[in-house]
Amino acid sequence: MPRVDNEKFYSSAIEKHGLSAKGLNWFSKEYQELRFRALLEILPKDLSSYTVADAGCGFGDLYLYMQKKKRTPKNYIGLDSLVTMYEVASSRTGCEIQIVDVCKDKLPRADIYICSGAMNTLSPFETTQFIHNCYNSSNYGFYFNVLHGDLQSETYNYLTTEQIEAFAKELQVERIEYVRDYVENDITVAFIKKSL
């Protein structure tokens, strides 16, 4: 059973805060961008020859951040389950955006899968499905950030380092990399299949 009703979780935030970082339930735009920066730190420096799929792309903010930092991929595919996200991300990025349930649906093949925050409200079972689906749909690996630690929450999903490493073992990940200490209770992880 899902931890939260995603439609309700995001539509109420959008109604209150509009099409902004807070509308996506981020604490602030600055917090959102700290996580984006951690992802760019762990991703390959030159993405210009890769197709990147953004699982749980929201409004396409990560792509716009990549543009601002001159780190855009050759192709960007945004994936989200909510129509509002699809509409806004399509308009803002001009890229291919698809409506999919990342946990259950067949995903498009991409060189690299990325995810910033979309797993934060998933149940443990959904988190397993999400990670497996993204990793298995990538050619080179899955790069993501999640809430980190052993805190218990009715709404949010925290993963320990041990849980992350158990996922990596199940998937036979060749190499794991971490970025830590940029935001309290958050971690950025790379599950790398093969070196780029």
1 lies in some domain: no
The single-letter code of the amino acid at 103 is C
In sequence order, what are the residues at sequence separation of 6 or more whose Cβ sits closer than 8 angstroms to the Cβ of residue 43? 71, 112, 114, 143, 190
Task: Identify the domain containing residue 55 by its residue range.
Answer: 6-192
58 lies in some domain: yes
What is the domain-level CATH number for residue 112? 3.40.50.150
19 lies in some domain: yes
Find the length of the chain: 196
70 lies in some domain: yes
- Per-run averaged pLDDT (10 residues), the chain, 196 residues: 50 53 54 91 96 95 96 97 89 96 96 94 90 97 93 80 96 96 92 80
Burial 25-42 (b: 16+ CB within 10 A, else e): bbeeeebbbbbbebbbeb
The total of structural domains in the chain comes to 1
165 lies in some domain: yes
Whole-prediction pTM: 0.85
